[in-house]
Structure 1
């Protein structure tokens, strides 16, 4: 089972963004660290506040995303084996934390895009539940069915 570690500081940032967004879907890109075999930790993420409605989120590639990725890779000294793009995240404030057909199609397009160059991509779906962040992780690997991952909360930074 693939595990995605959600550090407390990132969880708190997500929580703030989910409160501001309310019933609108928001999302972005996940950047992270390969910790050990099958274990990844979110190191950074982007936030796209536009493009979401009550029932959908449409990912947009902006120059700011490219700049964010460049900054992340420079900060991690371009150590792509340890630090890299993990995938995408978005909120499902009004729905179950299960990827929709559109979510799955988008993730398959990303993982099969040779310009992305990913061996796999993760989709983290989040929502607020009784004031806390609830999440699910799905992994997309070319030539394989979607795999459910494990979201692990990291309490200590």
Structure 2
């Protein structure tokens, strides 16, 4: 799988990461399917409230409005535009999923919500400008796998 992150989303990420400083933040990723296995992150939500120095857990209710607005803007064209996954920052740690991160994502795709797959994007701002990142695919019935991040 491959994902692109649009320049607008990168600007939002940088601003949010700068504002959060050393506190973890995160949200949901909303994407556009370009072709099978190739997605573009076109929007995201940001939860600036619930993160701590070494922990972030997103409240699903807090991002429902962002998802609803996204679906309205994309005229409920779910085959092309849909929920893509989750993101959060690791300002003090490597940009790889922790054991807790992976367990949360496995629970998400093996849960009752009917989500077959989701990506987890982990980011950190280096030198107040560059976004260091990793992206992992969690797919029902499969082992987690690395997602290629393309320059968008």
| Structure 2 unaligned regions, length at least 5 | none
> How far, CA to CA, are the matches of 2:11 and 2:79 in structure 1?
27
CA deviations 1:18-67 (Å, max 9, x no partner) are 000000000000001000121100111000012211111111123x5222
Partner-residue secondary structure (3-state), 1:14: helix
- Report the Cα offset of residue 126 of structure 1: 0.4
What is the root-mean-square deviation in Å for CA atoms of aligned residues? Answer: 1.0
Where has structure 1 moved over 6 Å in runs of 4 or more? none
TM-score by length of structure 2 reads: 0.95
Equivalence for 1:78: 76
TM-score by length of structure 1 reads: 0.92
Partner-residue secondary structure (3-state), 1:57: coil
* Pairs within 5 Å for 1:3-152: 3-62=2-61, 64-115=62-113, 117-130=114-127, 131-152=129-150
Residues paired across the two proteins, number: 151
CA deviations 1:74-93 (Å, max 9, x no partner) are 11111111100000000000
> How far, CA to CA, are the matches of 1:68 and 1:12 in structure 2?
18
- Report the Cα offset of residue 153 of structure 1: 2.1
Partner-residue secondary structure (3-state), 1:28: strand
| Structure 1 unaligned regions, length at least 5 | none
